[in-house]
């Protein structure tokens, strides 16, 4: 399954139809009208960048965009050999006839995935986060800082990089805690677990809760929350946590009794649209998106180059008749499956009171 995106430069001399990015490479075709070049060349680049400021700040000479990775190719005149065309490129080249030129970029697997921080409803301009841009432009040199490139001589596309889920999904984590009350040597035991480490977006997550109440007090409610922890790395170390799900269940556990039950929870971005700074997966045009996938750190990856790190935790709290709280944290995972591709959210985290 492929989807085609197209942009045209202001003077109409450069056009970039490009098929959707995969996890390993992106490819497309640029249509060039040589009559408008005036002896100049046509270049294309693919850049992974981290934006941590608004467009307004760029206007006053402050650059709030950092290029993490960038590759350039000369498209016209043709320079060097090119890899074999994909079937989609062949179809696009037929439409462009003699003016079509194919390009392919291989993407390092250790680069970050597309992720952004959700703006407030009143915010305008581009959101902070990691994005990928394909840009075709007319210039004499590929990257001459003294050469000014007119905006009408460029066309650009924002694309999205996603990560595949692991082939094998490990068993889910489990955590437990025991607490007593003042003037009592009896305990309340709480155990929480999930079936597997990884879930797709929109899946119900079964949280299995076991309670052994040895005291005479009554457990009135069970509260389950899901927290997203976001760590911004490139411009400073900024770490914060936001709750993306908070549900209470009116389950009563009387004194000197036990309970074992599974509760279904579904954290969704649609229930968190007003939360500024929430990490979300990269967007394509005006399409909707999801809560950001957890960052998977593989051997050899540079943590500092990921831009934004995302993880999740589930917390189970017991509300007892005296008003006290018992709680524990257990890791969880979520994965998104869309258009035949998988975005991994293999969340990790340790137990904590």
Could you give the CA distance from residue 214 to residue 237 in angstroms, rounded to a whole number? 44
Q: What is the pLDDT of residue 335?
A: 39
Q: What is the pLDDT of residue 14?
A: 59
- β-bridge mates for residue 67, sequence order: 49
Give the angle 232-290-285 at the CA atoms, nearest 5°. 90
Q: What is the pLDDT of residue 269?
A: 92
CATH code 2.60.40.640 region(s) in the chain: 174-345
DSSP string, 238-261: EEEEEEEEEEEE---B-TTEEEEE
Hunting for tokens 């936001």 — which residue is that?
242
Distance from the Cα of residue 21 to its chain's centroid: 15
Q: What is the pLDDT of residue 204?
A: 93
Hey, CA dihedral for 297, 224, 185, 256, is it positive or negative? negative
Q: What is the pLDDT of residue 7?
A: 66
Question: 5-159 is classed in which CATH architecture?
Answer: Sandwich (2.60)
Main-chain phi, psi angles of 233, to 5 degrees: -110, -35
End-to-end CA distance of the chain: 46
Whole-prediction pTM: 0.77
User: How do strand 14-19 and strand 25-32 relate by DSSP bridges?
Assistant: antiparallel
Token couple for 58: 């760029």
Question: 174-345 is classed in which CATH architecture?
Answer: Sandwich (2.60)
Q: What is the pLDDT of residue 1?
A: 44
**Coil vs helix vs strand at 305:** helix
Q: What is the pLDDT of residue 326?
A: 47
Low-confidence residues of the chain, pLDDT below 50?
1, 18-22, 59, 323-353
Cβ pair 117, 230 in contact under 8 A: yes
pLDDT in tens, 272-316: 988 888 999 887 666 778 999 888 877 777 777 788 899 999 999
Token couple for 92: 């696009």
CATH code 2.60.40.840 region(s) in the chain: 5-159
């Amino acid at each position: 399954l492929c989807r085609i995106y197209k942009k045209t430069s202001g003077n109409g001399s450069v056009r970039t139809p490009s098929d959707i990015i995969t996890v390993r490479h992106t490819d497309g075709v640029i249509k060039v009208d040589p009559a408008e070049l005036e002896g100049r060349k046509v270049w294309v680049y693919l850049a992974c960048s981290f934006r941590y400021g608004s467009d307004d700040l760029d206007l006053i000479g402050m650059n709030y965009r950092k290029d993490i990775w960038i590759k350039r190719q000369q498209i016209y005149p043709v320079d060097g050999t090119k890899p074999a065309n994909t079937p989609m490129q062949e179809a696009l080249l037929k439409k462009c006839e003699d003016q079509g030129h194919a390009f392919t970029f291989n993407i390092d697997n250790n680069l970050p995935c597309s992720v952004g921080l959700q703006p407030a409803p009143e915010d305008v301009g581009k959101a902070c986060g990691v994005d990928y841009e394909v840009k075709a432009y007319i210039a004499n040199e590929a990257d001459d800082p003294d050469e000014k490139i007119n905006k009408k001589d460029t066309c650009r596309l924002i694309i999205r990089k996603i990560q595949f889920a692991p082939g094998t999904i490990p068993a889910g984590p489990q955590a437990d805690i025991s607490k007593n009350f003042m003037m009592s040597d009896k305990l309340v035991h709480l155990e929480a677990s999930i079936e597997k480490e990884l879930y797709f977006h929109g899946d119900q997550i079964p949280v299995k809760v076991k309670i052994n109440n040895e005291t005479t007090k009554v457990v009135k409610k069970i509260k389950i929350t899901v927290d997203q922890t976001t760590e911004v790395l490139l411009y400073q170390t900024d770490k914060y946590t936001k709750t993306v799900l908070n549900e209470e269940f009116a389950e009563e556990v009387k004194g000197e009794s036990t309970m074992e039950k599974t509760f279904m929870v579904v954290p969704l971005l649609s229930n968190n649209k007003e939360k500024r700074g929430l990490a979300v997966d990269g967007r394509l045009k005006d399409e909707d998106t999801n809560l950001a996938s957890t960052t998977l750190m593989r051997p050899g990856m540079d943590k500092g180059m990921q831009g934004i790190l995302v993880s999740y935790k589930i917390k189970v709290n017991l509300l007892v008749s005296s008003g006290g709280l018992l709680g524990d944290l257990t890791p969880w995972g979520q994965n998104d499956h869309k258009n035949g591709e998988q975005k991994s959210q293999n969340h990790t985290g340790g137990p904590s009171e």
